[in-house]
Structure 1
Amino acid sequence: MGEQGPLAPGEAWRAVAACFLTTFALLSRHRIHLPEEHVGRRLDFADGTGARVYRETRLGSGLAKDPCTLVVVFRLRLVRGPAHALFRRESLLNTPLFVGFPGFTSKLWLAHDERGRYRGVYEWDGSDRAEHYARSLWRVLALVSEPGSIRYAIVPGLRRDDVIADPRLVEDPEPEAAAWWRTVAGT
């Protein structure tokens, strides 16, 4: 993974605005689903943390033609203790910020881990599209997240559920740097 950071402000906010408009069209056609297949499942990560899936969002079948796995992590500013439960309920309102981006197929929403970090674990259609989304989302997350807490990882060519089921599928030359996003076996 190379240097990470947000897109230029104008480009990022235009992408978010376009996503918003597309989301409402998808909602009107009943294309957005909230399956419960993964809800309650705990995902453990190579850095020794883990969290439960509290929501899943899927567009259509949720399967990508050119699959990649995207993991985004951030730590919210000022959200501690009981405020985490409030954030999880409110977060449904954030759906228009991602579901209408080109290439979105599905997302697992993870509750905060032992370090107070939230993760989204996505299946995306196309690595370039996933990167564009992550760098656009960065601008939104920067408004509410602790500085320096936002990161993302993209695993091209692999479906999200396959990466979760068998972490050995992912070869990484820097396993320590990838510990925050790599799932561990037995989750």
Structure 2
Amino acid sequence: MDHEAGTGEQRALPPGAAWRSVAACILSSFVLLGRGRVHLPAGRLGMRLTFADGTSARVYRETCLGSGLAKDPCTLVVCFRLRRVRGRAHALFRRESLLNTPLFVGFPGFTSKLWLADDELGRYRGVYEWDGPERAEHYARSLWRVLALVSEHGSIGYAVLPRLRRDDVIAGPGPAGDRGAGRDAGAWWLPAGGM
């Protein structure tokens, strides 16, 4: 994978550190939810994002904290394939996934997330704007422990794209240059535009 784009060697945080981070996030999330700081904008629902590997997926939810804009922006893309979820079970997962909101909105640096339905290969993606690439990396490595409980082995991955706003990444040419140069099977993380 492309190390410059933040997709180099990837691994979960050690279990103790990851689960402490997740627990702190859940506590913070309930405070944020209770104060009405978490929003579910509808403007991008149904938008289809294509990726440089030739796959595409539809946005089925967006979650924002406050304005949804970061001071030190970076884009984070997370990918996984659920274990033993087929057919109609995908629709159930998409409905149920709202309950997973406390697992991310309380992490330091979270600003917004596009939830993408499963693509042609059965992979789910989250496309985030995060405040600070180090914070995004910490979240992705903590989340790995949670995803490992429900995901196919070897299907979890993430990419951190520093200094790039999420909406700029999904709207036009990004860090890899010309996206019209053909499919790149390793570029599951690189949005090639929205429709």
TM-score by length of 1: 0.95
Q: Distance in 2 between matches of 1:186 and 1:136?
A: 28
Moved over 4 A (4+): none
Deviation digits for residues 140-174 of structure 1 (CA, Å, limit 9, x no counterpart): 000000000000001000100000111x23137xx
Q: CA RMSD in A?
A: 1.3
Q: Does 1:171 align with 2:173?
A: no
Instruction: Give how far 1:179 is off.
Output: 1.5
Q: Does 1:184 align with 2:189?
A: no
Q: Distance in 2 between matches of 1:149 and 1:7?
A: 17
Unmatched runs of 5 consecutive residues or more in structure 2: 178-182
User: Residues 43-122 of structure 1 correspond to what in structure 2 (within 5 A)?
Assistant: 43-122=49-128
Deviation digits for residues 103-138 of structure 1 (CA, Å, limit 9, x no counterpart): 000000000000000000000000000000000000
* Residues paired across the two proteins, number: 184
Q: Distance in 2 between matches of 1:135 and 1:149?
A: 14
Letter in 1 for 2:62: E
Letter in 2 for 1:132: H
| Counterpart for residue 34 of structure 1 | 40
Q: Secondary structure at the match of 1:86?
A: helix
| Counterpart for residue 154 of structure 2 | 148
Instruction: Give how far 1:184 is off.
Output: 1.3
Q: Distance in 1 between matches of 2:76 and 2:92?
A: 25
Q: Secondary structure at the match of 1:184?
A: strand
Q: Secondary structure at the match of 1:94?
A: helix
Q: Distance in 1 between matches of 2:193 and 2:126?
A: 19
| Counterpart for residue 126 of structure 1 | 132
Rate the CA distance shift 1:7–1:92 in 2: closer, same or farther, 3 A: same
Q: Percent identity?
A: 74
TM-score by length of 2: 0.91
